[in-house]
Amino acid sequence: MSPATAVRSVNDLGLGLLRQPRQVLFGPGQRRQLPEVVAAIGRTVLVVTDERMATTAEFGELVAGLRDRGLAVAVYDRTEAELPRENVVELVDRFAGESVDVLVGIGGGSCMDLAKVASVVLANGGDVRDYYGEFLVPGPGLPVVTVPTTGGTGAEVTCISVVFDAEREMKVGVASPYLEAHTTVIDPEFTLSAPPGLTAATGADALSHLVEAFTGRAKNPAPAEIAGKLYVGKNVLADVYARTGIALIGSALPRLATAPHDLQARSDTMFAAYCAGMAINTAGTAGAHAIQSPIGNLTHTPHGIGVGALLPYIMRYNLPARVPEFAEIGRLLGVADPAQDELAQARAGIDGVDAILAAIGIPADLTALGLRADQLDDVADHAVLATRLTDNNPRVLDREGILEILRRGLAGDRGWW
């Protein structure tokens, strides 16, 4: 596909749309607010986490604080990475019929996604498969409080849960405003002990969210589309969060590569991840996320590492349709010379994102993920089915375009297309 076919979309409506939790608490030490937050919602609490988090001193303190507040607490600690459907089924089978007033999701994206999606299945019945897709949840779920312990997924503020369905061999989304958390408590101190690999994976995920939300397709949706679609396109309110997040993460992530215990850098990264979640909640993610899912299924590489490795090639593919946005990213990152022409600034912005990814150790090509040339057709066949994501890409992303991105990514070709 030639640059001449890359048609630019513009938000002619001047639309701004946010979906967000009722309450957000942010800052070092704010986890100590959790007992009061939860007690204001209900008396019986189901805490959703994973086996690693459940063994930590911080988790023990949180649960003890809830119980000291007089709350009845049950714990589900079997959440797995990439959230398999089996986790949802197991949790619902175990707690259906139990008295649960509020769920608390503590951990990474899978823990929070499980709390959110379990809340609507427990409240509305059925199987999670009944709710695959957009706006198919029939009514409110149980109140959810999200407590992220990594700086990247944005799941604490998004109204979507992503579930891996092994029988379908793909990730699917349950997307509905009913999944929005009641409250999120964001405490950067949780991330101080995160190992470099986790910091890199979640940081790259947040960076990809910010870039894809800010450079995504503008859709000018009609009222019916706003009422029935999760992702309504690039918009002026999502852009506010994207700009803030890009400026923060541009300096914070590289600092963490050399100073992992820098609390200010951790705080800035976590705030950027929150901003990214707010942005993608209505603008959505795009090509990198569509292509990563089948690559992840084949190579078993972490989601954030995969989208980070893809991002340089997706950006170059999308550049013809988003020169002003990439130029602004260059200025937000402080790497573009405003005296230069807009295309030069845009290329500087893409190079700046490349440099952030390199600083945190994201693989420079798709070969490093374990992807092989003979797998590209299979990846493209699956990626093109993720229309919820491909429809957000600013440049038409058909099978031919996906294969072009994959070939260049496999070869590590970072030229200008």
**Residue finishing a domain among 168, 186, 204:** 186
Q: How many residues does the chain have?
A: 417
Say what the pLDDT of residue 5 is: 61
Tokens of 354: 């490349």
367 with 412: CB under 8 angstroms?
A: yes
Does 13 reside within a domain? no
Pairwise CA distance, residues 390 & 217, whole Å: 10
Average pLDDT over residues 23-42: 97
Tell me if 43 is assigned to some domain: yes
**What b-and-e string marks burial along 221-252, b requiring 16 or more CB atoms within 10 Å of the CB?**
beeeeeeebbbbbbbebbbebbbbbbbbbbeb
Do 156 and 201 fall within a single domain?
no
240 and 355 housed in the same domain: yes
Instruction: Please give the pLDDT value at position 6.
Output: 75
Q: Are residues 174 and 200 in the same domain?
A: no
DSSP 124: H
Residues 112-143: b if buried by 16+ CB within 10 A, e if exposed: bbbbbbbbbbbbbeeebbebbebeebeeebbb
Helix residue ranges per DSSP H, 79-151: 85-95, 109-124
Rama region for 70: left / alpha / beta (φ>0; ψ in -120 to 50; rest):
left
- Give the SS3 label for residue 366: coil
Q: What is the pTM of this model?
A: 0.96
**CB within 8 Å of 402: residues ≥ 6 apart:** 287, 290, 291, 379, 380, 383, 384
Residue 98 lies inside a defined structural domain of this protein: yes
| Whole-number Å distance between alpha carbons of 200 and 254 | 10
Both 68 and 93 in one domain: the answer is yes
Task: Output the average pLDDT for the chain.
Answer: 96
Asked, for residue 47, whether it belongs to a domain, the answer is yes
At residue 254 the predicted structure's pLDDT band, cuts being 50, 70 and 90, is very high
At residue 230, φ and ψ (nearest 5 deg) are -70, -50
Looking at residue 189, its pLDDT comes to 96
Question: Is position 75 within any domain?
Answer: yes
Residue 14 within any structural domain of the chain: no
Please compute, for residue 197, the number of CA atoms within 13 A of its CA located in the half-sphere on the CB side.
Answer: 4
Last residue of a domain, one of 157, 186, 215: 186
Mean per-residue pLDDT, 212-217? 98
The answer to whether position 357 is within a domain reads yes
114 and 248 inside one domain: no
| Percent of residues, the chain, with pLDDT higher than 90 | 95
Of the three residues 137, 157, 186, the one that is the final residue of a domain is 186
User: Do residues 265 and 256 touch, judged by C-beta distance below 8 A?
Assistant: yes
**257 phi/psi in degrees, rounded to 5:** -65, -30
Query: Is residue 234 located within the same domain as residue 348?
Result: yes
The yes-or-no verdict on residue 214 having pLDDT over 60 is: yes
Residues 148 and 228 in one domain: no
Q: What is the pLDDT of residue 1?
A: 43
Pairing of strands 183-186, 133-134: unpaired
271 and 385 share one domain: yes
- What does DSSP say about strands 144-148 and 102-107: parallel, antiparallel, or unpaired? parallel
pLDDT greater than 70 at residue 73: yes
How many structural domains does the chain have? 2
Q: Which of 274, 271, 279, 217 is nearest to 248 (CA)?
A: 271
Say whether pLDDT at 377 is over 90. Answer: yes
Q: Do 202 and 171 fall within a single domain?
A: no
Q: Is residue 246 part of a domain?
A: yes
Residues 54, 131: one domain? yes
- For residues 270 and 28, the answer to whether their CB atoms sit within 8 Å is no
Q: In degrees, to the nearest 5, what angle opens at C-alpha 42 toward C-alphas 41 and 46? A: 110
CATH number at residue 121: 3.40.50.1970
Helix/strand/coil for 176: coil
Confidence check: pLDDT of 296 > 60 = yes
Dihedral angle computed from the Cα positions of residues 30, 35, 36 and 39, in that order, rounded to the nearest 10 degrees: 150
Mean pLDDT of 10-34: 96
| Statement to judge: residues 162 and 255 lie in one domain | no
Q: How far is CA 45 from CA 42, 261, 360, in A?
A: 7, 32, 37
CATH of the domain at 265: 1.20.1090.10
Q: Half-sphere exposure of 321 toward its Cβ, with a 13 Å CA cutoff?
A: 24
Q: List the domain range (segments joined by +) for residue 345.
A: 3-7+195-411
pLDDT > 50? residue 4: no
